[in-house]
Amino acid sequence: MRLKTRSIIITNTAIIIIFLIAYLLSYKTISENSRILEEKENANNLNRTYEAFNLRTENLDTVTQDWSYWDDLHAYALGKDPSFASIYITFTQLSNLKLDYLAIIANNNTLQSYQVDYPDEELLLSSSFDQEISNINLTEARSGIIRSGDRFMMISAKPITTSDGTGIPSGILVFGRNLDDKEATNYGSLLHMDVAFLPYDPSLLPDSAYLATAENATAIKETDTTTTTTTTTTTYYLIIKDIQGKDSLMLAATTTRDYFQTAKAGINILITSIIILTILVLIMNNLLIYLFFKKINLQILLLTETTKKIISGDYSTKYSTILHDEIGELSGKLEEMRLQLKKYKEETEQTNIDLEGKIRQRTKDLEEKQKELEKFNKFLIGRELFMAELKKRNNELEQALKQAGGKR
């Protein structure tokens, strides 16, 4: 595998791993922070739901308390002021107080009730809740929820007394507000959530619900809640006991999971940003590697060509580089080697030239010596021939002398 390919694979892998780690850490941080914020919001919304319920109850108690101190009402309950009902117990009066029900229980336990019919804008002289009111046996100030079939009403009961509080109570005043869709809308406006009143039925409670009781809504334990919700909404269920202490009503408040949606949108933006940034960084990385290796490859190519020339014995090409890194250092060493080899070659060639001159001179000297030796050799050969001839003549003379002496 070529160095450039290996570098691209290694650096790209490292970049992807770094961005993946950054994404995982960011995802964990965003998710954890959104979870913490959502848990705080859930606790806050649950308390707001409980406080809204208490606020509506207190409002009803305040209105009831105000009327229960009217001297005219006190006299009417004793049968002394019959005109009170026609003047004050009217559709207009009760609708202004946002009441759905009014009942007066005299001391002899007789009950006179009025029910507001908002669709027809009239006041009815009977109510389906009369029996439930009678069954409670109200004799003192109380407030709470009563149920008639699938209908619920929040009531407030106060003793009817004089304005100075000194008179003997002449009966019990009961004000009521239906816990129906209209009241749910009022709660929703107060809480900025979708609110519904449901009959208490544990089997209807989804697993993804925040549960609380009206007595302990401000101190919810973690074991009393479940945090599984839909991806878009969270529903809080406030379990409300009726006036006799039995679980009777569920106030279901649904709100959007703003923190979750914000975190989800943030994570989507994060994913998109990291993908785009990763692609851009990979492109920049590959481009830089390409430009870097293009420059390096040019220097390596020059190094290779120079090395080939040096190997072939050509030391004439000067090699230079503008790099100041390891390749630049290697190039400098290569240039030093080229110069040294060139110098050695030149010295060797000069030495060879000198040796050739000396050899030629020696050869010339040898040739001259050879000629002299040949002359001397010829001289010696001639002398030998002369001596042989001389010896032969001497022998002939000796023979001649011997012959001459014998004749004598």
Residue 190 backbone class (left: φ over 0; alpha: ψ -120 to 50; beta: rest): alpha
Measure Cα distances from 10 to 14, 20, 145 in Å. 6, 15, 71
β-sheet bridge partners, residue 177: 154
- pLDDT at residue 63 in the model: 93
- pLDDT at residue 60 in the model: 92
Say if CB 241 and CB 248 are below 8 A apart: yes
- pLDDT at residue 388 in the model: 79
Radius of gyration of the chain (CA): 62
Give me the average pLDDT of each 10-residue run along the chain (408 residues).
Answer: 78 88 86 82 80 88 92 89 88 90 85 83 78 78 85 91 82 90 85 85 63 40 37 78 84 79 82 88 87 76 76 70 67 76 81 85 84 80 78 81 69
CA distance 100 to 149: 17
β-sheet bridge partners, residue 104: 112, 173
- pLDDT at residue 67 in the model: 92
Cβ-in-10-Å burial (0-12, 13-18, 19+) of 247 comes to middle
Residues with Cβ within 8 Å of residue 197, at least 6 apart in sequence: 152, 179, 180, 183, 184, 249, 250, 251, 252
Say if CB 296 and CB 273 are below 8 A apart: no
Half-sphere exposure in the Cβ direction for 246 (13 Å, CA) = 7
Sign of CA dihedral 203, 204, 210, 213: negative
Q: Tell me which of 3.30.450.20, 3.40.50.300, 3.30.300.30, 3.40.50.620 is the CATH number of domain 69-175.
A: 3.30.450.20
- pLDDT at residue 211 in the model: 52
- pLDDT at residue 230 in the model: 65
Say if CB 241 and CB 152 are below 8 A apart: no
Domain ranges of the chain: 1-54+180-285, 69-175
